[in-house]
Structure 1
Amino acid sequence: MNLQKFLLGLLVLLGLGTALAAPSVDVPNELRLTHDLVSQSLREYAQGKSQQAFRTARSAYLDHFEYAEPPLRVLNPDLILEMEYRFADLRNGMKAGQPTGELQKIAGDIDGSLRKAESIVSGTGVLGPTLAATGGFTILFREGLEAALLIAAIFAYLDTSRNTQLRRAVWYGGAAALLATALTWALATYVLSIAPVSRELISAVTSAIAVVILFSLSFWLLQQSDRRRSVEFMRARVSQAVQSGSLLALGAVTFTTIYREGFETVLFYQALSVASGPVSVYMYLGVALAILALAVTFLLLFRFGRRLPTAKLFPVLVSVTALFAVAFVGNGVRAFQEAGWLNVTNLYGRLPTIDPNVAALTGLHPTVETLGAQGLMLLIYVLGFVYARVRAGAGRQNAAGKLERS
């Protein structure tokens, strides 16, 4: 037994010695070049250039990934073996003339493994996990806080009634909405995993929808009048349900109010989970912290009846929401590029390289198209916020003028 341990240790030392004696390799750069060539091979295959696509895919493995293998093999041999099979599946699929969608799924798995490999070599650092945790926390806390305030508004309306069954119907409706949200998450995850389209296209469409909703939410949160109208509309629906005497109708109002927030949460987390990749565990840490924060919020609202400083809190949440919308724009454009729907003007080598996890979570990919889309989105946000401020100031001046005249 001791002899076996000695021989095993000797082999490990020899393996490490060989790796140390090998020429220095820029592993992150080789992995990025591998990613670019895999994406290029898919575009060539989609254009009918199957032979050229096969040669490009082979070059991605032989001319770049193989150079990154020695240090990675020491750190995670299982990942290397897995990737060898995936590269072989990609080349064999091109030889066999498989549909482009099938090859895009294989390429998506390769891309995920490349990101994991780069994280193994470079380390996750601090910024990537921090961004993932921040996103996980902000999304759930923002949506949960909005739901809590709406439920509080419903209970405030019901305070005029001593009918305990009405309050029970609200809680049942809220619980049903939470259950429906969990089922929606499970269903969405399953459907997306078996969808007959590429992972890149799914990511692109999900990011695009998330951006539209986040963009509208950002400015809606800033407009106090719009939020008041939303609460008044919800109270009117509650009033109709109470007057009809139907507990089911009241529960349905609560269900739709909460489930709308839950559906948005599922959509945002689908986009964020793709971006988080190897640091997704930190996203779930943010989710756990958000659940804890929401528990405290619910306790303060419904147990002690305390008011929360939402006027100061919402601008912070709006700012973080806007930043994630800009990130999703970059990721969405990048996904459309990898799916072959948009051109790619690479800026590799011209811009400083950043950690792949940070790039995925911020959407800062080194292409003209992704950075241009993010710049445009950021400009729209700046102009929109300035417009909202000017409009709010004008509204306050008009209100002050009316008070003076009265």
Structure 2
Amino acid sequence: MTLRRVVLALLMLLGLSVALAAPTISVPNELRTAHELITQSLREYAQGNREQAFRTARSAYLDHFEYAEPPLRVLNPDLILEMEYRFSDLRNGMQAGQPLGELQKIAGEINGSLRKAESIVSGTGVLGPTLAATGGFTILFREGLEAALLMAAIFAYLDTSRNTRLRRAVWWGGGAALLATALTWGLATYVLSIAPVSRELISAVTSVIAVVILFSLSFWLMQQSDRKRSVEFMRARVSQAVQGGSLLALGTITFTTIYREGFETVLFYQALAVASGPVLPYMYLGAALATLALVVTFVLLFRFGRRLPTARLFPVLVTVTALFAVAFVGNGVRAFQEAGWIGVTNLYGRLPTLDPNVSALTGLHPTAETLAAQGVMVLVYVIGILWFRHSQRAAHGPVAGQLERR
């Protein structure tokens, strides 16, 4: 018995000394390194270096992810088991020479799980959920507000023309547009889930399209004169429908006017949903709050006929829209990097490391390419705003001079 106790004591001391001598493992850092190595392995595979790509993918799992497994296995064992299979599928696919598109899809699932694992370890914090909720609120409220103002303009014309019997056609057209928007969301979600391309490539293309629309929206919102012209154009179309006495034409005009806003909403939410990741429920919370705000807006507009202070509201929407565009540019470039289409110049260790949720929602990734793209986008916005203000002064200058002389 005495010898047994001595042996046990020696084993305990040996285990304690090994534990004290072992280096401290940073689980988030190991997960980020695994993420970078997966991206690197895809680039190597795309360049034809299949053996090196296999070794890089194996290193991502054996040399980094395995060190992060112990705490994650306690917190979410199902996620760890799923990721082990995904890592294995990626390595086996590389050895079998599978098409790059199939490997990109597997890698996209691994990267999404790595981000989820990092959020489990680090926690979601406060800023990430706040950004997701703010994005969810702003997108729906901006598009919904524009739709409400357009419908208010249609009803205002119908009231002046004393054609109140046509109101029902407008409501039917608006309702059909909302239904079509919901169907578009469901169809887009389904198609993107079964698309034969990688998740990163889908995210990249969606982000690029969203940036183009957001950029045009930003300057369109600043130009109230353009908005007035669009309202006048819509009223002219309504006038033609009213004079022709066609309820179908009036409903169609309303449908196309509202559905355009709905289609943009679906596109923006698809891009934001990819960026939200583990904090996606907060995006839906923001959308729910925006729905309540829009209900109040509709009641004020259509029940009480109150005018909204849009002149004060639009500058705020312009700022938020510009921030979304900058964030989506960063995410788009990052998605192209993960798909192996753009090179990566890592700045890990040289820049402060952000929470993964915050990084995804702001587009601030520690690579030279993503930050450069965002810098160019900010510069374009600054130049555009300066040009817009200069053109506004030039347009109002002669008028102001004539008024002063009078």
TM-score by length of 1: 0.93
Residues 2-401 of structure 1: pairs in structure 2 closer than 5 A: 23-401=23-401
**1:38-74: CA deviation from partner (whole Å, max 9, x where unpaired):** 1111111112222211111111000000001111111
* Conserved 8 A contact 2:135-2:272: yes
**Identity in percent:** 84
Instruction: Specify the structure having the higher radius of gyration (Cα).
Output: 2
Instruction: List gaps (5 residues or longer) in structure 1.
Output: 1-17
Letter in 2 for 1:399: V
Structure 1 CA distance, aligned partners of 2:32 and 2:234? 51
* Conserved 8 A contact 1:19-1:71: no
Structure 1 CA distance, aligned partners of 2:403 and 2:347? 58
Letter in 1 for 2:132: A
Letter in 1 for 2:142: R
Instruction: List gaps (5 residues or longer) in structure 2.
Output: 1-17
Structure 1 CA distance, aligned partners of 2:19 and 2:289? 42
Structure 2 CA distance, aligned partners of 1:102 and 1:356? 25
Deviates more, 1:96-105 or 1:204-213: 96-105
Letter in 2 for 1:29: N
CA pair 295-22 structure 1, distance change in 2 beyond 3 A: farther
The Cα of 1:23 is off from its aligned counterpart by 4.8
CA pair 26-218 structure 1, distance change in 2 beyond 3 A: same
Structure 2 CA distance, aligned partners of 1:349 and 1:163? 67
**1:341-399: CA deviation from partner (whole Å, max 9, x where unpaired):** 11111111111101000000000011111000100100111121122222223333333
Letter in 1 for 2:198: S
* Conserved 8 A contact 2:330-2:363: yes
Letter in 2 for 1:38: I
**1:313-340: CA deviation from partner (whole Å, max 9, x where unpaired):** 0000110010010000000011111111
The Cα of 1:21 is off from its aligned counterpart by 10
Letter in 1 for 2:391: R
The Cα of 1:142 is off from its aligned counterpart by 0.3
* Conserved 8 A contact 1:136-1:287: yes
Letter in 2 for 1:82: E
* Conserved 8 A contact 1:165-1:247: no
CA pair 155-19 structure 1, distance change in 2 beyond 3 A: farther
Structure 2 CA distance, aligned partners of 1:107 and 1:192? 16
SS of structure 1 residue aligned to 2:160: coil
* Conserved 8 A contact 2:158-2:164: no
Letter in 2 for 1:321: T
TM-score by length of 2: 0.93
Structure 2 CA distance, aligned partners of 1:93 and 1:306? 62
The Cα of 1:82 is off from its aligned counterpart by 1.1
In the comparison of the two structures, how many residue pairs are matched? 389
- Aligned-pair Cα RMSD in Å: 1.6
CA pair 172-20 structure 1, distance change in 2 beyond 3 A: farther
SS of structure 2 residue aligned to 1:92: helix
Deviates more, 1:76-85 or 1:308-317: 76-85
Letter in 2 for 1:225: S
SS of structure 2 residue aligned to 1:159: helix
Deviates more, 1:97-106 or 1:299-308: 97-106
* Conserved 8 A contact 2:181-2:259: yes
Structure 2 CA distance, aligned partners of 1:317 and 1:356? 26
CA pair 262-106 structure 1, distance change in 2 beyond 3 A: same
Structure 2 CA distance, aligned partners of 1:382 and 1:146? 25
SS of structure 2 residue aligned to 1:317: helix
**1:184-236: CA deviation from partner (whole Å, max 9, x where unpaired):** 11111111111111111111110000000000000000001111111111111
Structure 1 CA distance, aligned partners of 2:396 and 2:246? 41
Structure 1 CA distance, aligned partners of 2:341 and 2:81? 31
Structure 2 CA distance, aligned partners of 1:399 and 1:346? 53
Letter in 2 for 1:73: R
Structure 2 CA distance, aligned partners of 1:229 and 1:20? 73
Structure 1 CA distance, aligned partners of 2:286 and 2:300? 21
* Conserved 8 A contact 1:170-1:251: yes
Letter in 2 for 1:187: L
Structure 2 CA distance, aligned partners of 1:402 and 1:174? 45
CA pair 19-361 structure 1, distance change in 2 beyond 3 A: farther
**1:152-190: CA deviation from partner (whole Å, max 9, x where unpaired):** 000000002343431100000000000111111111111
Letter in 1 for 2:167: R
Letter in 2 for 1:290: A
Structure 2 CA distance, aligned partners of 1:273 and 1:323? 16
Letter in 1 for 2:374: Q
